[in-house]
């Protein structure tokens, strides 16, 4: 499962089997561990965007940066997580 799929499942899965719920819990723990390893600035942008639902322009204003800088940082952060999560999944399955 990749980061994008995990993100969608957070919001769209309404009924889960016990097995799938356990799998999802493990996925969340793995993802949280990866996020915890990110630099504080990346964690902050990720949290403001995904948890608090702020737009990049709002985050930029709050952090005193340009919207373009926030968009770039957010995209790079997601790419880092995708790569790290994919590598972890590969190690766990292989």
Domain ranges of the chain: 3-93
**Are 74 and 85 contacting, i.e. CB atoms less than 8 angstroms apart?**
no
CATH architecture of the domain covering 3-93: Orthogonal Bundle (1.10)
H-state helical runs in the chain:
3-12, 18-36, 40-46, 56-63, 67-93
User: What pLDDT, on the 0 to 100 scale, is given for residue 87?
Assistant: 80
Considering only CA atoms, which of 2, 3, 84 is closest in space to residue 50? 3
What does the pLDDT look like over 20-63, one tens digit per residue? Answer: 767 777 888 888 899 999 999 999 999 999 999 999 999 999 99
Residue 36's Cα: distance from chain center in Å?
A: 11
Q: Residue 8: pLDDT above 80?
A: no
Averaged pLDDT for residues 85-91: 74
For 84, how many CA atoms within 13 A lie in the half-sphere containing its CB? 16
Q: Is the pLDDT of residue 73 over 60?
A: yes
Q: Is the pTM of this model over 0.75?
A: no
Top pLDDT among 8 and 19 is at 19
Q: For residue 43, what are the contacts with CB-CB under 8 A and spacing of at least 6?
A: 35, 36
């Amino acid at each position: 499962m990749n980061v994008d799929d995990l993100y969608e499942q957070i919001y769209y899965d309404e009924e889960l089997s016990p097995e799938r719920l356990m799998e999802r819990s493990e996925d969340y723990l793995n993802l949280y561990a990866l996020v915890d390893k990110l630099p504080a600035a990346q964690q902050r942008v990720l949290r403001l965007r995904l948890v608090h639902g702020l737009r990049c322009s709002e985050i930029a204003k709050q952090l005193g940066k340009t919207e373009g800088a926030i968009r770039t940082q957010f995209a790079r952060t997601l790419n880092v997580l995708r790569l790290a999560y994919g590598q972890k999944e590969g190690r766990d399955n292989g």
